[in-house]
Structure 1
Amino acid sequence: MKIFREKQARWQRAGSHKGLIQNKRSLSESDPFKNGVYCNGLDIEIDGLTDCLEVRSTGETVETEFGPIKMTPTLQRKLKRERWRFDWTKAEGENLFALRVKGEDIIQGLISFSHEQGFTIVFLVESNPINVSHEGKYKGIGGHLFAIACYESKKHGNDGIVTMTAKTKLVDHYAKTLGIHSLGAKENMAIDELAAQKLIDKYIRKQYNIYR
């Protein structure tokens, strides 16, 4: 409990989007929330923290794979035909990762992020339209995508810490489902080390036999 309170206090002191205390660096220095659609905030809904992805109609769990992807105009045209909302050729961040069901070519989700000193910034997250709404094919896409960002953050030496700007209407939703914190301005949020490890354990460590 003492460790939890100390961690809570550290994140609260980082408020007003002025930066994480341990980094002694302002998040705003990198201006991650300025351009295009990103200033409007992330709006992917977390439809449940499942054991990997779950077929909504049957409850069956499926294995997944993820990795970096290059967004080409050809691929973007394909996404447009599939009615993805965003122009992913303009996605910010040097890291663009795709999530797929193991053995399939269909992209189930995309996430764009950059590694800074001490934290990782998520710019854009989107689920394949076939998974959106209560009639979508798979559950757990949003949680899995954030788990990927946390895992890559940890690999990069950022302790799994991930920051983002959320749409105002989804701030409470993200806080409840992902257990993440607001940084001063309510829409500016961060996944801390504890919440990150929970996501990694849920979606990645057990499925891919990755050890801490």
Structure 2
Amino acid sequence: MSYDNDDNFVNLDLIESAPYNRGKNRRFYGVGRALFAIVAQASFDYGDDGFILLKPKTRVREHFSTDMGAKEIGNGKQYIDTTSAIQLLNTFKGDDSNGK
């Protein structure tokens, strides 16, 4: 995964799962969502309200739309807004001993 902070969003340059974590016979489930959640948290930490800009490969566009909440903006680009970023983070939110 590679990302950087822009003026009002995080630019997600690259995100990949290992070959053994792809398809129906993947070894671990939820790795991609976890990576997106890390970037969403970074966007909030930078003060960008969870906004993420990405230009996915054609074969994963629909997956990013349905599973990550990405929306089309043209030129082959998608974005994740505050609502979708919060949903990604809530996937991994849980109670811990610190009450967070």
Q: Indicate the TM-score class for this superposition, using the shorter chain for normalisation.
A: 0.7 to 0.9
1:140 aligns with 2:22: no
Q: Give the drift of 1:136.
A: 1.8
Runs of 4+ with deviation above 4 angstroms = 207-211
Q: Separation in 1 of the partners of 2:39 and 2:79? A: 12
Letter in 1 for 2:85: A
Name the counterpart of 2:13: 123
Letter in 2 for 1:146: F
The equivalent position to 1:190 in structure 2, one of 59, 79, 84, is: 79
Q: Separation in 2 of the partners of 1:146 and 1:130? A: 18
Larger Rg: 1
1:201 aligns with 2:60: no
Q: Separation in 2 of the partners of 1:160 and 1:146? A: 11
The equivalent position to 1:174 in structure 2, one of 64, 71, 77, is: 64
Residues 155 and 140 of structure 1: CA distance in aligned 2, closer, same or farther (over 3 Å): same
Identity of aligned residues (%): 27
Q: Separation in 2 of the partners of 1:177 and 1:119? A: 20
Give ranges in structure 1 of 5+ residues lacking alignment: 1-110
Residues 210 and 154 of structure 1: CA distance in aligned 2, closer, same or farther (over 3 Å): farther
Query: What RMSD over aligned residues (CA atoms) do the two structures have, in Å?
Result: 1.9
TM-score, normalising length: structure 2: 0.86
Kindly tell me the number of residue pairs found equivalent between the two proteins. 99
Q: Secondary structure at the match of 2:59?
A: helix
Q: Give the drift of 1:210.
A: 7.9
Letter in 2 for 1:151: Q
TM-score, normalising length: structure 1: 0.43
